[in-house]
Amino acid sequence: MSQIWILRRLFTVAYTLLVVSLIVFAITQVLPADAAVTLLGENATPEALAAVRERLGLNEPVVMQYLSWLGGMLHGNFGTSLRTGLPVAPTMMEALGRSLYLGSLSLILMLIIAIPIGILAAYKRGRAPDVVSSLFSYVGVSLPEFVTATLVVLFFASKLQLLPATGYVSPFDDFGASLVHLALPVLTVSLILVAHVSRMVRSETIDVLHSDYIRAARLKGLTPSTVLFRHTLPNALLPTITIVALDVGYLLGGIIVVEEIFAIPGIGRQVIVAITSRDLPSIQAAAIIMAATYAIVNTLSDIAYAVVDKRIRYD
């Protein structure tokens, strides 16, 4: 992997975020919301509204407003929340940390479940395990997040009363309690991801099992476990890296719904609160942060793919 490729990829990420910033700023400009009215209320005097617009730079041309906002963002200043009056950046980054914690646990649980299911379905192709996993995958993909979350809450929290339905505990305060409170949202997100990834693992494993080097390994008299762990899995699971990275985009979108249902103060819930209160700086910051997270994760996945598979060379 050349340094030129890495620099080129970083430039692509920066260019992508620049385009996203233009789109986000343009969309928030056409929203039917006046920052001055949001701050002072509809009963504010015209003089007070004019003073606030002057202070916030709303009287400047749109291009100057964008350049000012972009310059502040590059220095870590996403503006001040119109709802709370506090700086947006610390609030959003703290919320992002909670969402990444939820997302990381969901991805770990998904991999633990999806990989064995996909491999088992591939080895038992056409038989009962394959049929059951396929049915589970189709149901999991077809159900939206709010339906899955509702079913999980009704079964585990309401009927069995095993886990809390809502709430969030920081892992730095009580790690065990944080896992208990995040069990249902993690399960909700993981079930949908498992349905997608397990089908991909199954498909890739079947392709590898029909390859010539697997036949050669079996003809050499290698044990089934050696064929599985040394030859099949390393090649079948490589595409999973890319699929998991692409699922991060879905994860960021799905977390918005899940966090609202389970009352988790992550970036998804911050987005909903910002939209309902027409808090434009918070909306802009959340969109940029989520886009940057997705771009960075996909870049890291490409690097990881090249590190794991020595045949891949980025020049």
Per-residue pLDDT reduced to its tens digit, 266-276: 888 888 888 88
pLDDT score recorded for residue 165: 84
Residue 286 CA to residue 274 CA, distance in Å, equals 9
Domain boundary residue among 51, 70, 88?
88
Residue 313, in any domain of the structure: no
Residue 110 CA to residue 68 CA, distance in Å, equals 42
Per-residue pLDDT reduced to its tens digit, 164-198: 888 888 888 888 889 998 999 998 888 878 888 88
- Which of helix, strand or coil describes residue 87? strand
Number of domains in the chain: 2
Residue 294, in any domain of the structure: yes
| Local structure of residue 79 (DSSP, 8 states) | -
- The token pair at 153 is 């809450």
pLDDT score recorded for residue 304: 74
Residue 265 CA to residue 239 CA, distance in Å, equals 33
- The token pair at 296 is 């960075």
191 and 111 belong to one structural domain: yes
44 and 168 belong to one structural domain: no
Residue 189 CA to residue 101 CA, distance in Å, equals 13
68 and 137 belong to one structural domain: no
Residue 314, in any domain of the structure: no
Domain boundary residue among 58, 88, 118?
88
pLDDT score recorded for residue 122: 86
* 69 touches 79 (CB < 8 A): yes
* 145 touches 192 (CB < 8 A): yes
| Local structure of residue 80 (DSSP, 8 states) | B
- Determine the structural domain holding residue 106 and report its residue range: 89-308
Residue 263 CA to residue 269 CA, distance in Å, equals 8
* 242 touches 260 (CB < 8 A): no
Residue 315, in any domain of the structure: no
Residue 236 CA to residue 214 CA, distance in Å, equals 12
Residue 148 CA to residue 156 CA, distance in Å, equals 12
* Residues in the chain, pLDDT under 50: none
Residue 286 CA to residue 234 CA, distance in Å, equals 37
pLDDT score recorded for residue 34: 65
